[in-house]
């Protein structure tokens, strides 16, 4: 038996840094949104643990978060070894939670493969042990993430909207961006911004959400990697209206309510950027069909 899981990437529609905590992590408010651009994870029982990937940029050993997730569950639940294949499509070190989503997909895969029927809360606890973004990636819909990003409150799934994503030709270390972070001038108090976002999400007001996209980390990443700021400016100059860096970057996305507008923009932009993706946010159906058992 093999279990395949779609490991969806994510973007941040809102990322507010509230300050540094005594444990060194930063407290955040984030609105996370799953996107269809995804890795595919295959898991099957084996005589020993193995991990294979099709990407030269991710490790084929226990430092791969996908294998880390399996090792953690094996240690806690005495599960048999597994073979894990990771078909990478999400760009690496891009601010799209690529490694975290692979880890979450392995947790879901082991739960299905060994018919564990673990409660969501247990899956969330395992996920949080691996990394701050992993709990969100278990559900990968629309959610509010607080704490250091690991406390997840599911929100109504937003009606799908469309995205053109640009990945600069280098990675960005999330840890380094947070180390260098200095609070930008804020036009709005974080609590007000979040309240408005939550109201718009409950009302499915996608246009208002796209008008309010916000990321506190942009200034820091832009000062460390000016090329990321150039990507944002280029997207505006090509006619995009709603543009934001995702997470700590370097991925920058342009968002569109209409699929046709996104497609036309993609056609216009693709000659300007070597790594560009046309995708959309996840739908109910994408989430329903993400686990396949064969
Ligand atoms: P986040 O948005 O959660 O900060 P990211 O998208 O910026 O993460 P990742 O693609 O998760 O970054 O990669 C970060 C680091 O994790 C890289 O150095 C990569 O080699 C390592 N890594 C470990 N396992 C994986 C994996 N399965 N997929 C991608 N990267 C992995």
pLDDT band at 83 (very low <50, low <70, confident <90, very high): very high
Q: How many domains does the chain have?
A: 2
Tokens representing 26 are 């930063």
> For the residues 175-187, what does the mean pLDDT come to?
82
Task: Give yes or no for residue 133 CB within 6 A of ligand 1.
Answer: yes
Averaged confidence pLDDT in the chain: 95
pLDDT band at 192 (very low <50, low <70, confident <90, very high): confident
pTM of the prediction? 0.94
Marked catalytic residue, from 39, 102, 133, 200: 133
Is a pLDDT exceeding 80 seen at residue 183?
no
* pLDDT at residue 19, rounded to an integer: 87
* pLDDT at residue 187, rounded to an integer: 65
| Domain boundary residue, one of 157, 177, 212 | 157
What is the span of the domain harbouring residue 127? Answer: 2-157
Is a pLDDT exceeding 80 seen at residue 165?
yes
Q: How far apart are CA 109 and CA 132, in angstroms?
A: 20
Q: Which of the listed residues 8, 11, 58 should we mutate to test ligand 1's pocket, taking the one with most ligand atoms within 8 A of CB? A: 58
Read off the pLDDT of residues 262-279 as tens digits, 9 standing for 90 and up.
999 999 999 999 999 999
Q: For residue 256, give the CATH number of its domain.
A: 3.30.70.890
> For the residues 82-109, what does the mean pLDDT come to?
96
Both 18 and 34 in one domain: the answer is: yes
Read off the pLDDT of residues 127-147 as tens digits, 9 standing for 90 and up.
999 998 999 999 999 999 999
- CA 1 to centroid of ligand 1, rounded, Å: 28
Both 173 and 271 in one domain: the answer is: yes
Question: Any catalytic annotation for residue 192?
Answer: no
């Amino acid at each position: 038996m093999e279990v395949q899981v779609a490991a969806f990437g994510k973007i941040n529609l809102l990322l507010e840094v509230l300050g540094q905590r005594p444990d060194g992590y930063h407290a955040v408010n984030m609105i996370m949104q799953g996107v269809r651009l995804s890795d595919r994870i295959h898991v099957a029982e084996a005589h020993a643990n193995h991990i294979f990937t099709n990407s030269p940029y991710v490790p084929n050993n226990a430092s791969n978060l996908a294998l880390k997730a399996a090792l953690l569950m094996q240690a806690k639940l005495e599960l048999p070894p597994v073979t894990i294949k990771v078909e990478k499509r999400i760009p690496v070190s891009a601010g799209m939670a690529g490694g975290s989503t692979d880890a979450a997909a392995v947790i879901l895969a082991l739960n299905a493969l060994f018919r564990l029927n673990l409660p969501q809360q247990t899956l969330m606890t395992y996920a949080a042990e691996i990394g701050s973004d992993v709990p969100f990636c278990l559900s990968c819909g629309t959610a509010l993430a607080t704490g250091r990003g690991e406390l997840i409150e599911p929100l109504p799934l937003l009606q799908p909207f469309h995205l053109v994503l640009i990945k600069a030709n280098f990675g960005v270390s999330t840890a380094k961006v947070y180390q260098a972070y200095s609070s930008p001038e804020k036009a709005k108090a974080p609590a007000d911004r979040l309240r408005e976002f939550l109201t718009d999400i409950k009302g499915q007001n996608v246009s208002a959400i796209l008008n309010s996209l916000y990321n506190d980390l942009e200034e820091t990443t832009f000062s460390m990697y000016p090329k990321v700021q150039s990507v944002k400016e280029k997207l505006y100059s090509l006619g995009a209206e709603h543009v934001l860096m995702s997470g700590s970057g370097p991925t920058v996305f342009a968002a569109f309510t209409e699929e046709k507008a996104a497609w036309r923009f993609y056609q216009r932009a693709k000659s300007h950027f070597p790594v560009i993706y046309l995708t959309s946010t996840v739908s109910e159906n994408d989430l329903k069909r993400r686990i396949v058992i064969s």
